[in-house]
């Protein structure tokens, strides 16, 4: 496995997620403008906030998973299942570069 290209891929994915997270954060902290004056518009914005908050949380979790994968590359444990210690199938890593468990362990939860 070419770890340096995996690492590049993980870092590129992380940068993309960071940019999206920053936009979601801006939206939630209203640095993109004050709440709308109109009540109906406020309601729409608040509903929007819930969607953006959920997106924000998912992006943060995805970034954390990528960070863990990058740490595992640095420690030389990348591609090894954190549960059973078996190698994670190359196809699975290709589809999910941040995977920390092999397919069998992931299916067991
Ligand atoms: Zn496993």
- For 65-82, write each residue's pLDDT tens digit: 999 999 999 999 999 999
> What whole-number distance in Å separates Cα of residue 107 and Cα of residue 52?
29
Q: Where are the domains of the chain?
A: 3-78, 80-109
pLDDT value at position 57? Answer: 96
Q: How far is the CA of 15 from the centre of ligand 1 (A)?
A: 29
Q: What's the start-to-end Cα distance of the chain, in Å?
A: 26
Ligand 1 centroid to 48 CA: how many Å? 39
- Would the pLDDT of 30 be above 90? no
Q: Quick: pLDDT tens for 50-59.
A: 999 999 999 9
Burial 19-53 (b: 16+ CB within 10 A, else e): ebbeebeebeeeeeeeeeeeeeeeeebeeeeeebe
Percent of the chain surpassing pLDDT 70: 94
């Amino acid at each position: 496995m070419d770890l340096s290209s995996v690492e590049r891929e993980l870092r590129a994915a992380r940068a993309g997620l960071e940019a999206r997270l920053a936009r979601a954060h801006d939206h939630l902290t209203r640095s993109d403008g004050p709440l709308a004056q109109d009540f109906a518009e406020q309601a729409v914005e608040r509903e929007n906030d819930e969607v953006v908050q959920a997106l924000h949380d998912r992006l943060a979790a995805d970034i954390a998973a990528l960070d863990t994968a990058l740490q595992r590359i640095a420690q030389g444990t990348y591609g090894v299942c954190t549960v059973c210690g078996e190698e994670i199938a190359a196809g699975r890593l290709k589809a999910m570069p941040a995977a920390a468990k092999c397919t069998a362990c992931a299916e067991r939860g």
